Amino acid sequence: MAKKIVIIGGVAGGATAATRLRRLSEEDEIILLEKGEYISFANCGLPYHVGEVIKERESLLLQTVAGMSSQYGLDVRNFSEVTAIHPTEKTVTVTNHKTGKVYDESFDELIISTGAKAIVPAIDGLENAKNVFSLRNIPDMDLIKTYITRNKVKTATVIGGGFIGLEMMENLSELGINVQLVEMAPQVMPNIDFEMAQMLHAQINMHGVKLILNDGLKELRNNGHELVLTSGQVLATDMTILSIGVLPENTLAKQCGIELGFKGGIKVDTQMRTNFAHIYAIGDVIEVTDSVSGEATNIPLAWPANRQGRLVADIINGLPAKYPGTQGTSVAKVFELTAASTGNSERILKKQGIEYQAIHIHPNSHAGYYPGAAPIALKLLFAQNGKILGAQAIGTEGVAKRIDVISTAMKFGAKAPDLAAIELAYAPPYSSAKDPVNMLGYTADNIVNGKVKTFQWSEVDSLKEQGAYFLDVREDFELLTGRIGGSVEIPLNQLRQHLVEVPKDQTIYVYCQVGLRGYNAARILMQHGYSVKNLDGGYKTYKNSKY
């Protein structure tokens, strides 16, 4: 029996659902309603067309209305905004913005994939500013590009250091524009932790971007050409990009009694069903379950939207399918660096009161003796029982690869020490015989099995104040990169001969550059009866945090 299926929103979630629906049924009537001109475009490419990295505007239009209609036999209607959903009547009210026509359309099944909307704060001076933009779609992008060219923009300010903010910062900067990035939090990229984000801060400054942390936009003056920050600082700017985050585009849902959850995200079950049996919701507009913590959250990313689009089509066609939750695996390019993560950050774990252990390592992206190798800062978070809670990585090469491998391991329930057992492809241009992910596994194994105790970069300063005994096992020449003042220095390869000099009546806080020799030193000391802790991630992690 043919069904009539209406989809609201014609991009990531909506378009994906539509094509799968058609593949599963030739006879169903499938109507795709999109309020904008474009369907199925590459939202994620928008910043790069602003930066002229992606040269052709057309390349962002993955499917046209005509193409989607003919290839998939869909009824695709652009310029068609749904203004109301009537769950009991099983109809939606549509306004065609091209013709002005308003009509009701009935459905057997309805899919809401309306996405998210940029948060626009209530700030004085915003209404008079014609130079403030958000970036969500093609028209937004066109506006920004036109404004830059017409007004010969020399200075731009990005408010908000999340994914889109960072991408806009990079792309505006690549155009030769002076960029200022203002972020209210002490760090950019909220999905990674502070000591990791510090590497991005260094990179951002190195590229000449003026980075202002711990400060927010309070007021716009002079038609948006002056920005007053919370601190009182005033910035001159030719234009401003507002990217302080997004919220579920839930207006329709809210009005018709669809149940909302976390920050207004539509509540759905594991089959993407709302509280109305024939109404489904997917993508940025929904609340998802954080796979790690089990808590409700919003994760506005393209992977979940595409995945849910596929699954909802299966579910509507009676196939067994469910969406268990989202890990939040993500990646961003920040100039030469890549930053990626999966699962929860330390900040989130703390907030949720989940017990965890942290590991930081700095292995090379591939064999050190093969040209182009560069260290990756890798962080792993795991529970005492070994369950992997999250991972973060920053570097120039092979960063997404390692996070993808860990994300895969998490998906299938691997424990942290199991990462050592994953057979990863090795030849010198690609990795090491023990891949960085394996190295995380070995390091975790030693912690889980009591072979070493560690202390964290964040504990160093207070330990120092308390007069702790720091033992630096690096070689002389390395001390030039900096040291923890007051440390006793005994290079690892002389440690056995100098044990008598190390006091037994207090904990020895040992460290090296990245943690490896410190660990070896700790093993020596432990077996000689010392109480010892190794600085996780070594002096390098501590130093990164101090940037």
Check the CA dihedral 463-469-474-477 and report its sign.
Answer: positive
If one asks whether residue 249 binds ligand FAD (CB under 6 A), the answer comes out as yes
Nearer to ligand COA, 12 or 339 (CB): 12
Q: Of 29, 37, 42, 44, which is the active-site residue?
A: 44
Q: Which of residues 8-27 bind its own copies (CB under 8 A)?
A: 12, 22-27
Q: Out of 7, 30, 31, 46, name the contact with ligand FAD by CB under 6 A.
A: 46
3-state secondary structure of 270: coil
If one asks whether residue 237 binds ligand COA (CB under 6 A), the answer comes out as no
If one asks whether residue 23 binds ligand COA (CB under 6 A), the answer comes out as yes
Residue 30 to residue 22: CA distance in whole angstroms: 8
3-state secondary structure of 102: strand
86-91: list long-range contacts, CB under 8 Å, 24+ apart: 86/256, 87/256, 87/257, 87/258, 87/276, 87/279, 90/278
Q: Out of 43, 180, 237, 431, name the contact with ligand COA by CB under 6 A.
A: 43
Nearer to ligand FAD, 9 or 224 (CB): 9
Q: Which of residues 351-380 bind ligand FAD (CB under 6 A)?
A: none
The residue written with tokens 């950050």 in the block is 345
- Residue 142's alpha-carbon distances to 133, 182, 317, 419, in angstroms, are 11, 23, 39, 45
What are residue 193's phi and psi, to 5 degrees? -90, 165
CB of 25 to ligand COA, least distance (A): 12
Q: Of 315, 323, 321, nearest to 21 (Cα)? A: 315
CB of 412 to its own copies, least distance (A): 3
If one asks whether residue 63 binds ligand COA (CB under 6 A), the answer comes out as yes
Q: Which of residues 419-448 bind its own copies (CB under 8 A)?
A: 420-431, 433-435, 438, 442
Q: Of 443, 435, 376, 385, nearest to 405 (Cα)? A: 435
Per partner kind, with CB cut-offs from 5 to 8 A, the member of ligand COA, its own copies, ligand FAD, none near residue 135 is ligand FAD
6 Cβ contact list (under 8 Å, min separation 6): 31, 33, 92, 105, 107, 109, 110, 111
Active-site residue 44, yes or no?
A: yes
Per partner kind, with CB cut-offs from 5 to 8 A, the member of ligand FAD, its own copies, ligand COA, none near residue 361 is ligand COA
Nearer to its own copies, 114 or 308 (CB): 308
The piece of 71-79, 151-159, 278-286, 502-510 that touches its own copies (CB under 8 A) is 71-79
Q: Which of residues 382-421 bind its own copies (CB under 8 A)?
A: 398, 400-401, 403-405, 407-409, 411-414, 418, 420-421
Strands 469-472 and 488-489, bridge-based pairing:
parallel
What are residue 41's phi and psi, to 5 degrees? -100, 170
3-state secondary structure of 448: helix
Per partner kind, with CB cut-offs from 5 to 8 A, the member of its own copies, ligand FAD, ligand COA, none near residue 114 is ligand FAD
Nearer to ligand COA, 366 or 401 (CB): 366
Say if residues 312 and 277 touch (Cβ distance below 8 Å): no
If one asks whether residue 20 binds ligand COA (CB under 6 A), the answer comes out as yes
Instruction: Find the Cα–Cα–Cα–Cα dihedral 47, 50, 56, 60, rounded to 10°.
Output: 30
Nearer to ligand FAD, 70 or 255 (CB): 255
If one asks whether residue 366 binds ligand COA (CB under 6 A), the answer comes out as no
The piece of 9-17, 102-110, 514-522, 530-538 that touches ligand FAD (CB under 6 A) is 9-17
CB of 167 to ligand FAD, least distance (A): 6
Count Cα atoms within 13 angstroms, Cβ side, for 365.
19
If one asks whether residue 337 binds ligand FAD (CB under 6 A), the answer comes out as no
3-state SS of 300-329 is CCHHHHHHHHHHHHHHHCCCCCCCCCECCC
If one asks whether residue 319 binds its own copies (CB under 8 A), the answer comes out as yes
List the Cα angle 206/209/214 in 5-degree steps: 105
Nearer to its own copies, 119 or 433 (CB): 433
If one asks whether residue 278 binds ligand COA (CB under 6 A), the answer comes out as no
Tally Cβ neighbours within 10 Å of residue 225: 16
Say if residues 247 and 263 touch (Cβ distance below 8 Å): yes
Tokens of 324: 């268990």
Q: Which of residues 470-529 bind ligand COA (CB under 6 A)?
A: 514-516, 519
Catalytic residue numbers? 44
Question: What residue ranges bind ligand FAD (CB under 6 A)?
Answer: 8-14, 33-36, 43-44, 46-47, 81-82, 113-115, 135-137, 163-164, 249, 252, 283-285, 300-303, 305, 426-427
Binding residues vs ligand COA (CB under 6 A): 11-12, 15-16, 19-20, 23, 40, 42-45, 62-63, 302, 306, 310, 361, 433-434, 439, 442-443, 446, 514-516, 519
